[in-house]
Structure 1
Amino acid sequence: MNTLHFLLPGDPDSRTGGYLYDARITAGLESLGWIVHRHRLADSFPFPGAAELSQVGGILASLPDGARVLIDGLALGVLPAVIAPHAARLRLVGLVHHPLAEETGLDEAARHWLFESEKAALAMVRHTIVTSPFTAKALAAYGVPAARVTVILPGTDPAPLAQGSAKGSGNPGLHILTVGTLTPRKGHDVLLTALGTLLHHDWTLTLAGGARDKPTAALIEKLIQDKGLSGRVTLIGEVDSEALAALYDRADLFALASHYEGYGMVFAEALARGLPVLGTTGGAIPTTVPPDAGLLVPPGDVSAFAQALEKLLVDTGLRQRLRQGALRARDTLPGWQDQARAFAQVLETL
């Protein structure tokens, strides 16, 4: 019987791309007969205190020699000193959604420290699994040989095509959906500032995502008021899968101004529903969203985002062409069970 110990910081039920990936892959492993022991680490990662680091050390010390141990990158990157005593006796694997130093909003000192720490930690694991080819290439800068990196994309559940806002009565114009936690990296300030210049067009926006960063949440509320968007924008917080499916179904366009994505699962979910996409070129987004399925502009460029958004608002033909591209991409998206099998194959070779 194959057994895996999985170390994951924070609430495993969090509805973010990284946590959803972790949950679906481990559930897939269990469906294949694996025994998965989940070890919940503190919420404070990637900036843990001494007690939180000691907890991880205790978990690793309690595991038998040869145990397979998967450590989520949110914790792994700051654990080089903790994992060093166990690197030779345990079969350690890293799961990197995106390098910690790429998080938006870090000062240069924090960015440098995270880079060096993650570089040291990655050198100690036997293999690293990443969620996109872009992230695989990014790890070259951390000194990780390509032979020790495997790309396993997130899966995407089959979904019905979005019916759009026109199915309802009293259609208030084009309905835009954005899904992402209220954190600096998601670029919601760029989206809202761009929309503030497009009040002469007929649109509404729903923003779904938990408020994980209080200053960002406060900034978003302020922008909505200052830009006169309160009658157009609805903040609904974090939602479950059923509610999210309903949001996708009544959307006409998916837009997210992320500064960086290690893959961008919500973009793939939009493609699965045949939605035209507006995003950025940040991180792995261009490898997730094909050029015929969406418009991508440089991250952080409010003017470019606004111009692309206006094109999509006024050009029905463009939206239809991108919808056709999304439908083509829809057929290429891998399923979760296949990705779990690929994950299992990597673990079995250690």
Structure 2
Amino acid sequence: MTPFLVPADIDDVTVASGGNTYDRRMCDLLGLVKVTVAGRWPTPSTKARVALADRLAEVPDGSVVLIDGLVACGVPEVVVPHTRRLRVVVLLHLQLADETGLPPERAAGLDRREREVLRAASSVVATSEWAARRAIAHHGLDPKRVRAAPPGTDPAPMATGSDAGDQLLCLASVTRRKGHDVLVHALANLADLPWTCVCAGSVRRDPAHARRVQTLIDELGIGNKMILAGPLSDTDLDVTFAKTDLLVLPSRRETFGMVVTEALVRGIPVLTTNVDALPRTLGPDGGMLVPPDDVPALTGALRRWLTDAELRDRLREAARAREIEDWPSAAKRLAGVLR
């Protein structure tokens, strides 16, 4: 059975992420042996590096081993020596240097380290066609060794939403990359309209930024309408989805955007940014696209949604018509690479 080395927080619901969900589902569907590695990845302590080296040393020569890129890509001195005896497959969720807000020197250092790991790996799996193309171009990888295995979705009932269309959901960890600060400013510009926005997602991945977002909400006087709800249980999330009219994802970077397909499979239109993989994930008719970091554009799109019933009906119909790949089909792609 193929071992899959993943971050130790993979099952921690307080820091839930699309990457962790993807890893868990692939373990379950493909029968991968989940090997958790504790550490502050991608820049772990010496103790964590030793633990990763020990886990890799336990894998017999010639075996295939799958490693989450968050674990592998920052430590070439640990991973690269094992590529000479193992068939190492790196699952690349997000290029390390693409995390929003990194100091330039640190981003450049992570970029160099990631390139060394990816060039040494037997195969690289990206979670979208866009991410695969970018990894090939950015790191100079052999296209024959890079594959895309996008995530899937679970079947779900159609959301009922509301007649007014004013129930908004932002489903994302509160980090700089997800753009909650932009959303706060946009919604504050719509004080003349009725709306409620639930922001569901971890506030622990970047606690300082989450505090800044909450302070901004309070300062702009929308704390009674925009709620940082933290992570929701599966049951509570299903209830929230059922009430949602529009998913809003104002990300600055995104290699796939799993929450987009999770909304579409429920017939919920999406308002997101035209960056990276998001336009393809959304598709041509399932919602609206705006530039990232553009408060006026996001404000305008939200105002159109809230005031134009015909637009809402058209986008809902298009979202309900979208065909979304399920998780078993997605797992087959990764299984093909591992074979």
Q: What is the TM-score normalised by the length of structure 2?
A: 0.95
Distance 2:329 2:217 in 1: 42
The answer on 1:249 being equivalent to 2:242 is yes
Could you say which residue in structure 1 is the equivalent of 2:146?
Answer: 149
In structure 1, give the amino acid aligned to 2:259: V
Measured after TM superposition, the shift of residue 235 of structure 1 is 2.0
Deviation string, structure 1 residues 186-215 (Cα, Å, up to 9, x no partner): 101111111011010110111100112111
Measure the CA separation in 2 of the matches of 1:342 and 1:133: 12
SS in 1 for 2:196: strand
Matched, 1:47 2:43: yes
Match of 2:287 in 1: 294
State the secondary structure of the residue aligned to 2:57: helix
1:107-132 CA-to-partner distances (Å, cap 9, x unmatched) read 11111111111111001110011110
Matched, 1:24 2:25: yes
Q: Distance in 1 between matches of 2:133 and 2:246?
A: 30
SS for the counterpart of 1:60 is helix
- For residue 138 of structure 1, what is the amino acid of its counterpart? R
| Contact 2:43–2:75, Cα closer than 8 Å, also in 1 | no
Q: 2: distance between equivalents of 1:244 and 1:156?
A: 14
Count of residue pairs the alignment pairs up:
334
Partners of 1:90 and 1:240 lie apart in 2 by 38
- Within 5 Å, give how 1:1-350 maps onto structure 2: 3-14=1-12, 15-30=16-31, 36-140=32-136, 141-166=138-163, 174-211=166-203, 212-329=205-322, 331=323, 333-348=324-339
Partner amino acid, structure 2, of 1:11: D
Distance 1:5 1:337 in 2: 19
Letter in 1 for 2:22: Y
User: What is the CA–CA distance in structure 1 between the aligned matches of 2:230 and 2:4, rounded to whole Å?
Assistant: 28
Give the gaps of 5 or more residues in structure 1: 31-35
Distance 2:310 2:162 in 1: 17
**Distance in 2 separating the partners of 1:128 and 1:181:** 26
CA displacement 1:161-198 (0-9 Å, x = unmatched) = 110134xxxx8x71101100011111011111110110
Confirm or deny: 8 A CA contact 2:27 2:33 kept in the other structure: no
The separation in 1 between residues aligned to 2:3 and 2:83, in whole angstroms, is 14
Q: Which amino acid aligns with 1:18?
A: G
Per-residue displacement from partner, 1:210-269 (whole Å, max 9, x unpaired)?
112111111111011011111111222111222111111101111111111110000101
Contact 1:10 1:44 in 2 (8 A): no
CA distance in 2, matches of 1:230, 1:261: 27
Report the Cα distance in structure 2 between the residues aligned to 1:77 and 1:64, rounded to whole angstroms. Answer: 21
Query: In the aligned structure 2, how far is the partner of 1:299 from the partner of 1:17?
Result: 20
> Once the 2 structures are TM-superposed, how far is the Cα of residue 26 of structure 1 from its aligned partner?
1.2
Amino acid of the structure 2 residue aligned with 1:201: L
Q: CA RMSD in A?
A: 1.3
**1:53-75 Cα distance to aligned partner (Å, 9 max, x none):** 11111111122111221110111
Q: Provide runs of 4+ in structure 1 moved above 3 Å.
A: none
8 Å contact 1:80–1:124 — kept in the other structure? no
Q: Is the 8 A contact 2:214 2:228 kept in 1?
A: no
SS at match of 2:157: coil
The answer to whether the Cα contact below 8 Å between 1:5 and 1:39 also exists between their aligned partners in 2 is yes
Alpha-carbon distance in 2 for matches of 1:84, 1:231: 51
- Contact kept in structure 1, 2:87 and 2:122, CA below 8 Å: yes
CA contact (8 A) 1:70 1:94 kept: yes
Give yes or no for contact 1:11–1:43 (8 Å, CA) kept in 2: no
| SS of alignment partner, residue 116 of structure 1 | helix
Query: Structure 2 CA distance, aligned partners of 1:272 and 1:87?
Result: 39
